[in-house]
Structure 1
């Protein structure tokens, strides 16, 4: 399915880096995956010092490359850090600035956005961070267009994610962007993690939990994913969930941060991407099998959701020759 990649991803590990986000980066970008043809990326770690004490002194990281490896990165990742009031090392900030000038893709997990902002590369750019630190971030970096209520923000060459688990969402989004939906789904299956949560979903902000019957959307979502080739409506979803359309809308907004129609469209486009990757050449067939109706509608929605037309997506991700 995949071939060994020459795209180099480098993670800068600083003192007090959170091991969880570091582990997310290693798991998604660094592991050998024989089921999809090998390594997805040329993955490296680097540190400013020979020995780096991780968060809360859990362990000390040694034996990795120095900061000069950041100069070779195609994608440079900054994990989270709990010490938000401690200025970052000048050499780390310089590495980020130089990478940005070179056109390197920059990525932060959780409070790593503070490091990007301190380097000045987020000015007048869209970004997010953990909701708990949103007000502190806004106060320190007013030039950044902070979006505090989303899982991650893809602003082209700079991508930022929210709290810890959102690092997995952003990581899978990058795999999908670089290698297509089929490879991203294979990685998510190995992770036993949701294949695709759109970046626009809300962060799970702490709030009181009412004593209510089970209102999980999981059953209706699973049912809808098995019937994407039919002309599903919001009313159909509501009937399957045994609630009114208005109640269904409220549950989608509360649990997924989106509307039933937007979720359904996103699932249809994801399925369309997979069919194209697997070699389906007839866009009218793709449109019919995904419930998108016509090739024109497929073209419009794929461009809106992925930034690519079906033809461009096929050229980039399909392993089958164009017919």
Structure 2
């Protein structure tokens, strides 16, 4: 295994019979040594299904908890009596390790980690491409903020000013911004841009409209401003996004530089043969 320090390593599910599992895991001892070294160096790890057993064998999950299906729980407890099993939650975390009990939850796990470690926008783009629901703000439980969200959504294609929205809601702009930040973690202007970008993504995915027409329809007066906003939101150009979601291109690649440039990093998906 290479000694290059990695940012994030995922161990996918694998199959082998219960009878051959001990021998199979013994052959993977060099992989376990490498995972221990990478984790000690600061890498974030994740695993799905039986890939979790590799992390358990490497002594990386401690006493758990680890997510296991009800059907596999008895055998898992027999082999690893020191590890706590969770059969009710599909995903569990232990320090810098995230585990999913089956492949049905693998993409949720991966988008969560990509959002945390690389870019929330990249994770959202991947979720869109895979037809998944991403973590995005719904209507707030604060009536004022919810009313502002609806007002902005209904008028997203127009030129809007925070003063007009505040006047409509009979509050000061400062109060509106403060309540918005408190509930949604963003300003009304940020929310308006998010609504517009969601609309653009939907049109890029589901229509053949030219990018310039989409920009106009969602409220941008010039194409350059739209392109800059879209790239900031999605991490790629509008035309690249359209090709990506239509071809279902794999977004997981390597290497990625660390944020401060201090060391080489990579995002790896490890096959377990």
| TM superposition score normalised by structure 1 | 0.42
Structure showing greater radius of gyration is 2
Say which structure, 1 or 2, has more relative contact order (CA 8 Å, 6+ apart).
Answer: 2
